[in-house]
Structures are given as structure tokens and as C-alpha cells.
Structure 1
Amino acid sequence: MSTKKTNYSYIGIALTLLVFGIIFIPRIVDRIKGEDISRTESRSEDVSKNADDYVSDLMFLEINGTPKKVPQFSFVNQDGKTITNKDYEGKVYVVEFFFTTCPTICPRMNRNLVQIQNTFSDFEDFGVASFTINPEYDTQEVLKTYAETYGITNPNWHLMTGDQEAIYALANVGFNIYAGENPEVDGGFEHSGNFALIDKNGFMRSRKDNFGNPKIFYKGIISEEEKVDDDGETEEISMLKQDIAKLLKEKYQ
């Protein structure tokens, strides 16, 4: 192709772009001003710089097509105060079920939660909900001592005790986190070592697994420092921290 012909080609392209700009750009601007263009037309997750519009990519846990919300609860915390689900409204929080005399996984879980607490110490809208599965022993006074021993300082971290039947229903049905008595295991109780993550509006949230489904829970036993346990399971505390940070950006509605 000759240089002259190439120059003509460039001139033609330039004229085309100029005509497009004159005809179509004002129309696009008008559509944006008239809010005819929805955010879904953009491939960017950062379409709006307004924090009120931010929605993270974390999934909702859905039951029969309906996002699962935290059920109502009411228990007494380590300070003797009655705490309900409404005390957590407007806050991102992590849920666990434990007991203070647990000789196995609970100390590991709560050391990991203290590390998470310290990571988000500057956020007034972050908290933790810890429910004892041995309320007969874990009185308010026992929970208070436990909190002091582990360095629990977040005012939104409530260690709660109350009616055992209600706590077990909350664990097994409300959060789908197993808890039960078992005299044959160390400590006399068994429970999941998983954490649930709740958003500011009370919905259970998590990231996707490799199949595009919600992970639902986060492994709470393995620390970030360990990375992998003896069974080859990978830690998820770092993942949980990342997802807490995402939910903290979302708006409370």
C-alpha cells in the first residue's frame, strides 16, 4: 500500500470519528443525565464513586430462593447485658459457637478471632457474636473472665449465654452450624469449627466456591501463620478478613 493511500485511510477514519462525536456523544450525555443508562451496562465494578452504591461480590445464602437472614435471638453477654440480633444491625459481624472449657478447637478459633478483632479495631461497625453451647457452666462471670484472658476488647464482641435449647436451635437451624452434647468426646460437647459472616443488614454472606456456589462458612481453626494444617486443609482467616473488609464498605439499609 502506498503512503498516499495510507494517508487517505487515516483521514477517512478521522472524519468518521469526528462525525460520530458530533452526532452520538451529545445523545449519550443526554441519556446519562436522564439516568437511562443503568449500571449494569458497564463492565466495571467501580461504576459509581458514591460509597452508598457499593455492593460487594459476596453471595447471599439462599433458602428456597430467599436470602437467609439472621433469626431473632436474645441472650445475656459477659457484662450481664441482654443482647439481641437488633444490637448487631448496621454492623458486619462473625458468628461462632464455642464453650469456655473446650480443650480442643475453641482456643484456636478464639485466638484467630482476636487477631481479626485487632485487624478491624478502627471500625465501630464490626463485631463478633460468640454463643456458648455449655450455658450451664458458662455463666456471665465465666464469660467475663474468658474475655479478659483472651484479650477481647471490641465492645461489639458479645459472648452470650442463656437457654441451652434456644442456643442449639440457633446453631443448628438458625445458622446451620452444628452443635450438640456428646459425652464421648473431649469436653463433652462437639461443634463446628466454622465461622459465619453476617452483613450490616443481617444477611448471611460468603464468597463463591470453585463451582460458583456460596461457601457459606469460613474455617475458623487454622491460623494465617499455619497456612495449612496436618490434614492439608488451607487456612481461611485471611479470606475472611478480605470479605469482612468488603462488607464494611456496603451501606446499611
Structure 2
Amino acid sequence: MKKTNYSYIGISFIILVFGIYFIPKIIDRIKNHDVTRNESRSDFAGENNIKLSDLAFIEINGEPKQAPHFSFINQDGKTITNDDYKDMVYIVEFFFTTCPTICPRMNANLIQIQNSFKDYKNFGVASFTINPEHDTPEVLKAYAEKYGVSNPYWNLMTGDQDAIYKLANQGFNLYTAKEESVEGGFEHSGNFALIDKNGFIRSRVVNGNPIIFYNGIISQTEKVDDEGMSEEITILKEDIAKLLKE
């Protein structure tokens, strides 16, 4: 009987020590996003341990913001939706083929990024024209060939103009508008949005705050523009690499 009592005492002591030593560590790991929902016991031994990167989730009203649903026609005449980017890291941009100002620079930078990740089958680009009346699939196809688009998951998409503008302004908060008074007849953001494998908008944190979007206009070779703003293609590449490892 005494042996049994001592066994219970020994087991209770082991449980107490485990709680004192391991529980705080597990809590710290959860706070640091080192534990995922699918983490198993073997993960604690270093097997199949998947860690989130240090990139922030963009939050709206306290909830991580996901890329909104979309369905448009690409340069090959195929219908493309969010599902085509499932389990992929991808960049979102809004442009138009006759843009005389920032679009050529943005897409030259995207080509450079494309070539940097040419060996990855889970990286893509989603480009939406803001002038769908002109930018038919045939026009987008010629544009893609002109710039050297080779990534099979780089879709240049066209469709209903109101739907595209809603996607840009409300879905991604990337400004887009038809404005006849400006050169080219349209205004739009020169930024890129970065989307992770689960469809969440992500960005790096600078001085305690997420940058949200990445400047897509200034090239790595330029380094800074006339106003002294630094290029962000370098950090975008770094952050794409981080998301590809998640």
C-alpha cells in the first residue's frame, strides 16, 4: 500500500515539474507564433516544425485581412479566380497597357522579381487592368509577350470595370480611378500587395508598424527616386522568400 502511495506522489511531482518548466515555454512559443494549429508532438523534437515568418498580418477591425474574391479573364482567355492562387505566394498590382508613366516601371520590376523566383512553382503575380475596355485578352497577351512574362502563374486580367475598381479600392485599398485630366486618362497606386499561401495580405514591420504595401515604381538600380524615397523591391524579394518558406 505504501509503495502505491509513493508512486502517486512521484507521478504528481513529475506533473508539477512539467507544468512549472514547460507550460511557460509553450505559452511563449504561442505568443511568438512558433506553434501552429497542425503542430504535433513530433514537432517539439524538431520534425516538421513549420514556423511563421516575422511578416505582419494586415488587420482590419482586428481581423487578418484576406485577399478578396475575384473572377476575371486572363491573357489566354481563361477564367482566373482566387482558387488558382491557392497555396501560392503572389503579388497583386493594378495597371493598364497604355499607361505612359508608372506602369512600365512597375512591370519591369515585376519581371525582375519573376526572374529571381523562376525556380519556384508556388509563386505568381495577379495583374488587373483598370482599362478593360481597351485591354482585351488579346491586348494583354501581346503586352505580356512584350515584357517577357514567362511565369505560368502570372495572370494579366480583364473584366467588368466596376468590379475591378471595387476590387482595387475596397478589396485591396489600392487607389484606382478614371481621370481624363491626367496623362493616360487613369490614376492608380504604384504599390504592390503581397499575399501569402493562405490568402492573407502580409507585409514587413518597420519601426513597429507594418508598411502594408510595397512601392513598385522605384527599381533596385535606381535605389532612390527624385524625392528621396528608397526602393522597396529588395525588401519585397526578401519577404517573398520568407513567405515561400512558411
TM-score per shorter chain, which class?
A: 0.7 to 0.9
After TM superposition, the score normalised by the length of structure 2 is 0.84
In 2, the alpha carbon distance for the partners of 1:173 and 1:44 equals 31
User: How far apart are 1:53 and its partner, in Å?
Assistant: 1.9
Which residue does the alignment assign to 2:28? 40
Per-residue CA deviation, residues 50-91 of structure 1 (Å, 9 max, x unaligned), is 455210010011011000111111000001000001111100
1:159 to 153, 156, 161: 156
2:110 to 109, 113, 123: 113
Question: Per the alignment, do residues 183 and 65 of structure 1 end up closer, same or farther by CA in structure 2, a change over 3 Å counting?
Answer: same
Say whether 1:235 aligns with 2:237.
no
Which residue does the alignment assign to 1:244? 240
Which residue does the alignment assign to 2:142? 145
In 1, the alpha carbon distance for the partners of 2:49 and 2:187 equals 41
Structure 2's unaligned 5+ residue stretches are 1-13, 36-43
Structure 1's unaligned 5+ residue stretches are 1-26
Q: Residues 51 and 249 of structure 1 are in contact (CA less than 8 Å); yes or no, is this contact kept in structure 2?
A: no
When Rg is computed on C-alpha atoms for both structures, the one with the higher figure is: 1
Question: Per the alignment, do residues 166 and 52 of structure 1 end up closer, same or farther by CA in structure 2, a change over 3 Å counting?
Answer: farther
**Alignment length (residue pairs):** 222
User: How far apart are 1:38 and its partner, in Å?
Assistant: 1.4
Question: Per the alignment, do residues 196 and 186 of structure 1 end up closer, same or farther by CA in structure 2, a change over 3 Å counting?
Answer: same
Q: How does 1:174-253 map to 2 (within 5 A)?
A: 174-210=171-207, 212-250=208-246
Q: Residues 177 and 187 of structure 2 are in contact (CA less than 8 Å); yes or no, is this contact kept in structure 1?
A: yes
The residue type paired with residue 193 of structure 1 is G
Q: Residues 108 and 221 of structure 1 are in contact (CA less than 8 Å); yes or no, is this contact kept in structure 2?
A: yes
In 2, the alpha carbon distance for the partners of 1:216 and 1:165 equals 24
SS at match of 2:162: helix
The residue type paired with residue 245 of structure 2 is K
RMSD: 2.5
Which residue does the alignment assign to 2:38? none
Q: How does 1:62-77 map to 2 (within 5 A)?
A: 62-77=59-74
The residue type paired with residue 87 of structure 1 is D
Q: Residues 171 and 178 of structure 1 are in contact (CA less than 8 Å); yes or no, is this contact kept in structure 2?
A: yes
State which drifts further: 229-238 or 44-53: 44-53
Which residue does the alignment assign to 1:170? 167
The residue type paired with residue 38 of structure 1 is I
The residue type paired with residue 137 of structure 2 is Q
SS at match of 2:238: helix
In 2, the alpha carbon distance for the partners of 1:53 and 1:203 equals 17
In 2, the alpha carbon distance for the partners of 1:221 and 1:51 equals 38
Question: Per the alignment, do residues 52 and 166 of structure 1 end up closer, same or farther by CA in structure 2, a change over 3 Å counting?
Answer: farther
User: How far apart are 1:31 and its partner, in Å?
Assistant: 4.2
After TM superposition, the score normalised by the length of structure 1 is 0.82
Question: Per the alignment, do residues 43 and 226 of structure 1 end up closer, same or farther by CA in structure 2, a change over 3 Å counting?
Answer: same
Say whether 1:130 aligns with 2:118.
no
Question: Per the alignment, do residues 98 and 43 of structure 1 end up closer, same or farther by CA in structure 2, a change over 3 Å counting?
Answer: closer
SS at match of 2:202: strand
In 2, the alpha carbon distance for the partners of 1:75 and 1:45 equals 35
Percent identity between the two aligned chains: 66
The residue type paired with residue 172 of structure 2 is F
In 2, the alpha carbon distance for the partners of 1:50 and 1:101 equals 51
The residue type paired with residue 26 of structure 2 is S
